Amino acid sequence: MGLSRRGFLALAAGAVAGALASPIVWKTLDDVTIWTQNWPWIPRLKPGENTFLATTTKMCPSSAGTIVRIVGGRPVTIAGNPEHPLGSNGVTALAGAEVQMLYSPSRVKTPLKRMPDGNFQSISWDEAITLLAGHLKNASRTKDSLLCISGDQHGVTANELLSACAGACGSSRFFLMPGEIQPAARAARLMGADAQPGYDLEKSDYVLMIGANALETWGPVIRNRRAFAEGRPHGEPPATTWTYCSATQVSSAAAVNSWVPVAAGTEAVFALGLAHLLIKNGYAANAPDIAGFAALAAEFPPQRVSALTGAPEALLRKTAVELAASAQPIVLAGSQNNSGAPAATVMAAIALNMLLGVVNKEGGLTFLPWPATLLEHALPRARQLENDLCAELAAIAAGKSPTPNLALIYDANPVYALPDKHKLLKAYASIPFKACITPLMTETAMASDLVLPLPMGLERLDDVCNPYGCGKNVYSLCVPVLPAPLTDARPLDAILSATLAQAQIALPNFADQEAALTGTKPFTIRSLIAARAQKMHAKEQELLKGAAHTDETLAPVSLRFATDILQKAIKPLIQSAASETVRIAPMTRMALGTPDTAIPPFGVKLIRASELKGTELFALVNSNTAARLGLTPGCRVRLCADSGASLELGVNIYDGVMDNAIAVPNGYGHTAFDAFSRGKGRNLADLYSVAVQEGLGSEWKVAGLRLERA
């Protein structure tokens, strides 16, 4: 397998970051050695036997299969696992830092209780469980008085345990943090598919990414990169074509065949413009409402699409021709800030795949069956994804939904990551008692009443099931590489079972007889994994050795275009595109971590001088926009939204940003964690508000953006 020069340059940054995670490299690179002198928490190597353990990264959203090198019982470096369907010969910059983060000074080392003066005090686990059990018992007396929030987007077991715990307490208010999969699942359901959308990139010959930065932040990135590389054998003509549509020429745009500038928030309009051209050339689909969809698409001829999206008409036509000429094309949609594309954008992308005839076909859009629900009271995966956290908090703020008595947050950082801070966090803050289960001292932990230390991904048994973006079913385990956590941390099942028992609330049992035949205690991670392996006909012992179980069974679907819903969803996007003159273009990079991890120390070395100087954040505009607005390199601007939120930052000029867009780096502005993350730049999420459309869920947007000289 080889990479072209262009592909190599695009992926080199992630490979370098992964290599730097090895303490061996520190001995050979002077600059890195100097850095380590500032990190007293980095352990020194001890001699010992070299061993290797295969696992799956839990810290990185890529969910990649990895191999951990262990020296003398201590993990020292991480490499990619080419034998894993989500692995390769490399790792992302974030996965490569997973060993390093075991020793982070931001780790929660013991249970913490907030005292009357606002400070935290260390307490014992017995005291912590008693405190949480009292609030859980009180919440169970009133229906839906417990609110659970999980940051585990790709796991199945932890979310099943949490939602079963909530159900046992009489609450269905279990929510995942916003991400790409929720609007995708909602769009699929509205179009007639009760299944998870998937993307068979490995067998596609044309990949159209509409807002989805698939080589950097969208989906199982390492697997996406492997598909990209295998379509470009060294020394041979590329076998695949990749086109990226976004407002900014980020790393994905530099590597692919074509970059089409499309204003952020108008991606659905661009997709309908492509549909118009395909239908004019005879494309159709066996769906009951094809005539209605054709009529809707006819409203978006190239000239209008170009005016609304900023995409050159010639590139729109070129993309349509390339799609039509491909044998196995595929279209994927996503957001540039990992919050999830609007449902309208995903619906328009699904519609394109329907027109192209690639639904549940090799190299096309696949639909994966939902994983089985094993515990009584647990919410099925499809129902978990229907629950909309932003919409729920907005309803609480508006008095349309009752304020819960207890919030239980698992491995999530809503205080930092959520938009519309004035509205949503006001609702969140009104909850009388908040307990946070987390490995790191996040902004959410800092705002909680009780903080319980959770083992890191390399210290606990966990799982990954069908990460969004997979084209087939993939189930694998995160296997602990240490005999015990490095802090006084406990896994989720131990925390919940002890709390429920003390609150005198019955532990949920297996929901079906087949799972009960495992003969193990039901409310543990290990027993649930054993039951799931049995149900999948997977080999549990192989899973525990790092192997992945794959299954190419697809869910049968009968899709419709849902034209009436799409027409309703597209209307506000058109109004917004026609009225706004400057639009936000988020720039997200894996090296800058996630809301739950912040910036790993090695990520600091990958921060560009053009985006951060000291603690000041810089945005990018192109030379045309700068001239129109009277901006010069290094000047300061203020971004103001109708919500009253504003960001002040510097400006640099970069012509990889489309006209009338301002590209703002994402992942800065932390007020918690360590010195590598805290106090650097501003949090882009602060600028977003939330619009909730009935039946379509919530959408992040910046209404009425104004750019002023500061």
Tokens representing residue 463 in the block:
């799982």
Whether the predicted pLDDT of 16 surpasses 70: no
CATH code, 418 = 3.40.50.740
Whether 433 is in a domain gets the answer yes
pLDDT given for residue 515 in this prediction: 65
Same domain, 212 and 351: yes
For residues 350-367, average pLDDT? 97
CB 553 within 8 A of CB 473: yes
Torsion of CA 410, 411, 416, 421, to 10 degrees: -20
For residues 430-439, average pLDDT? 98
CB 262 within 8 A of CB 249: no
Which residue, 604, 561, 30, 116, is CA-closest to 346?
A: 561
Banded pLDDT at 687 (limits 50, 70, 90):
very high
For residues 516-526, average pLDDT? 79
Same domain, 195 and 292: yes
- The helix (run of H) or strand (run of E) holding residue 586 is strand 583-587
d(CA 659, CA 505): 59
Same domain, 54 and 188: no
Whether 333 is in a domain gets the answer yes
Whether 471 is in a domain gets the answer no
Least confident segment among 72-81, 145-154, 406-415, 456-465:
72-81
CB 74 within 8 A of CB 46: yes
Same domain, 10 and 120: no
Alpha helix locations (H) across 247-402? 251-255, 267-280, 290-297, 302-309, 313-325, 343-356, 381-386, 389-397
Which of 55, 82, 101 is at the close of a domain? Answer: 101
Please write the tens of the pLDDT for every residue from 159-178. Answer: 999 999 999 999 999 999 99
pLDDT given for residue 435 in this prediction: 98
Quickly tell me which residue has 């509409």 as its tokens: 210
CB 363 within 8 A of CB 203: yes
Same domain, 52 and 116: no
Whether the predicted pLDDT of 310 surpasses 50: yes
Quickly tell me which residue has 């229907």 as its tokens: 386
Whether the predicted pLDDT of 354 surpasses 50: yes
From residue 297, give the alpha-carbon distance in Å to each of 276, 305, 356.
Answer: 5, 11, 15
Relative to beta strand 258-261, strand 241-246 is parallel
Q: Where are the beta strands (DSSP E) in 173-317?
A: 174-176, 196-199, 206-210, 241-246, 258-261
CATH code, 701 = 2.40.40.20
Helix (H, G, I), strand (E, B) or coil at 665: strand
Banded pLDDT at 643 (limits 50, 70, 90):
confident
Whether the predicted pLDDT of 536 surpasses 90: yes
Same domain, 642 and 687: yes
Banded pLDDT at 67 (limits 50, 70, 90):
very high
Which residue, 434, 463, 464, is CA-closest to 451?
A: 434
Same domain, 262 and 130: no
Please write the tens of the pLDDT for every residue from 17-31. Answer: 343 333 333 333 334
Whether the predicted pLDDT of 197 surpasses 60: yes
Banded pLDDT at 2 (limits 50, 70, 90):
very low
pLDDT given for residue 622 in this prediction: 95
Beta-sheet strand order (sheet of 462-465): 462-465, 473-478, 549-551
Whether 558 is in a domain gets the answer no
Share of the chain above pLDDT 70, in %: 92
Whether the predicted pLDDT of 564 surpasses 60: yes
Banded pLDDT at 250 (limits 50, 70, 90):
confident
Which residue, 539, 479, 527, is CA-closest to 375?
A: 527
The number of folded domains in the chain is: 4
Which of 315, 335, 368 is at the close of a domain? Answer: 368
Same domain, 276 and 411: no
Please write the tens of the pLDDT for every residue from 580-608. Answer: 778 999 999 988 999 999 999 888 888 98
Note down the domain range covering 659.
581-709
Whether 538 is in a domain gets the answer no
Average pLDDT, the chain: 90
Residue 614 CB coordination number (10 Å): 8
Torsion of CA 121, 125, 126, 131, to 10 degrees: 60
pLDDT given for residue 605 in this prediction: 84
Whether 29 is in a domain gets the answer yes
Which residue, 603, 604, 686, is CA-closest to 649?
A: 686
Whether 486 is in a domain gets the answer no
Whether 552 is in a domain gets the answer no
Fill in the amino acid letter for 626: A
d(CA 144, CA 655): 51
For residues 344-368, average pLDDT? 97
CATH code, 204 = 3.40.228.10
pLDDT given for residue 8 in this prediction: 34
d(CA 195, CA 370): 6
Which of 368, 401, 428 is at the close of a domain? Answer: 368
Whether the predicted pLDDT of 10 surpasses 50: no
pLDDT given for residue 42 in this prediction: 62
Whether the predicted pLDDT of 251 surpasses 70: yes
d(CA 148, CA 171): 9
Share of the chain above pLDDT 90, in %: 78
Same domain, 631 and 586: yes
Same domain, 140 and 197: no
Same domain, 119 and 195: no
* Straight-line distance from the first to the last Cα atom of the chain, in angstroms, rounded to the nearest whole number: 51
pTM score: 0.92
Least confident segment among 38-52, 290-304, 571-585, 689-703:
38-52
Same domain, 349 and 400: no
By residue count, the chain amounts to 710
